[in-house]
Amino acid sequence: MARKFLYAVALLVVVVIAGMMGLRFWANELSQFAFVPAKVFHAPAPLVPNAYANPSLWFSHGAGTAGDPARWLPRGADAPDHALPAAVFFIHPTSLFERTRWNADIHDATTNARAETFVRGLASPFNAAAEVWVPRYRQATFGAFLTDHPAGHKALDAAYGDVLAGFDAFVAGADPRLPIVLVGHSQGAFHLMRLMQERVAGRPLASRIAAAYVVGWPVSLTHDLPHMGLPACTAPDHSGCILSWQSFGEPADPRMVMDAYTRFAGLDGRNRKGTPFLCTNPITGRPGDAATAQANLGTLVPDANFSGAALVPGMVSARCAPNGFLMIGSGPQMGPLVLPGNNYHVYDIPLFWGNVRADVARRVGAWHTQSGHPAPKLASAKSAAGKAWWRLWQS
């Protein structure tokens, strides 16, 4: 399994480094040439009814199985004594960087291998939960975010259709006694915002959300947050709320993110240019806050050969800057995936792995207390089956 992990990460490194080089040295027009498909958009075929009842359309499906990427744990992290009484729905980020197609083939081995790598690093802080659900979906290619062409928006709409179908299957299949934790990163966060507008805001389901982690995509306080059905988290023990951040080393150049921020309209359909966006400090769980590195419970640091990773405490500080970005100082050595402008986008969650893990446990506990729904008794997360597949991915 370690070899499989290494091959998957190697594929990801090659693709992302190529993208980084293009974005670092090329003008916007050349970046679009490198990543925006030149082909006419053709909508993916509709999924069959109830498609997500098939476990093969999930990277992670509920309580987990052997080889489940979301259940991977780094060195230095222990499986919990008992499962966290929550059900997590995680939307993975972009793992398609080709310009030969607008949307991924849901069964494409290369794209899925990259996605599994992201799931390990980004979904694993949430894997103490009794259930973790991570759908495969026909994601839009990276170039869809670099163009104003209608095809880019159509590709993102098509991807969202799969995410929505997966979410409806998740709600129908998850243990109804459990609160829900929503997580999305990058393209996953982009879709999660719309999902919350359509499935959470003004609906009974809102009362079941313990927390929503909308990370790696800006949430406008003016044009997005009021339409997502939940407020921003204001304290570390606040439940039923939204967290969001985007990580940069200093000196930071966030122009690429700001270009994307203004390219896409807010959830109210209006241009978001110039409006402030939410910054939650993942170390403290408070918006607009600052924290020293000593308060960081553990950063997920990949091995030099990408064969695994370890938790390193006290490595990274964090402060919400006036411009809404999360500043981490000069930034740690995390490998070759730091993007131009000192953008630690790929590491938004791994930088604060230990604190995110503690944060979700705290908010789920607060939800059970504040909602009046006591946590149900669940099987131990250290059951024989659970130990087996955690050892499998750590081997």
Q: Could you identify the residue written with the tokens 């849901």?
A: 106
What pLDDT, on the 0 to 100 scale, is given for residue 79?
A: 87
The pLDDT profile of the chain, 395 residues, written as one tens digit per residue, is 444 544 444 444 444 444 444 444 444 544 554 678 888 899 999 999 999 999 999 999 998 877 899 999 999 998 888 899 999 999 999 999 988 999 999 999 999 999 999 999 999 999 999 999 999 999 999 999 988 899 999 999 999 999 999 999 999 999 999 999 999 999 999 999 999 999 999 999 999 999 999 999 999 999 999 999 999 999 999 999 999 999 999 999 999 899 989 999 999 999 999 999 999 999 999 999 999 999 999 999 988 776 789 999 999 999 999 999 999 999 898 988 899 899 999 999 999 999 999 999 999 999 999 999 888 888 654 443 444 434 433 43
Which token pair is 174?
A: 């998850």
What is the Cα 229 distance to its own chain's centre? 19
Distance CA(91)–CA(93), nearest Å, equals 7
- 347 and 247 in contact (C-beta within 8 Å)? yes
Closest CA to 318 of 349, 282, 343, 348: 282
Let me know how long the chain is. Answer: 395
Distance CA(111)–CA(1), nearest Å, equals 18
Per-residue DSSP letter, 57: G
What pLDDT, on the 0 to 100 scale, is given for residue 379?
A: 63
Distance CA(64)–CA(361), nearest Å, equals 19
User: What phi and psi values does residue 287 have, to the nearest 5 degrees?
Assistant: -80, 145
Distance CA(369)–CA(270), nearest Å, equals 38
- 380 and 329 in contact (C-beta within 8 Å)? no
What pLDDT, on the 0 to 100 scale, is given for residue 67?
A: 86
Neighbours of 153 (CB within 10 A): 17
Closest CA to 209 of 182, 233, 245: 182
Which token pair is 7?
A: 């091959």
- 106 and 138 in contact (C-beta within 8 Å)? yes
Strands (E), the chain: 58-60, 84-91, 129-135, 180-185, 209-215, 241-243, 247-248, 280-281, 286-287, 290-291, 299-302, 309-312, 318-320, 326-327
Residue type at 356 in one-letter notation: V
Domain ranges of the chain: 2-394
Distance CA(161)–CA(150), nearest Å, equals 17
- 142 and 19 in contact (C-beta within 8 Å)? yes
CA-CA-CA-CA torsion sign (328, 329, 331, 332): negative
What pLDDT, on the 0 to 100 scale, is given for residue 389?
A: 37
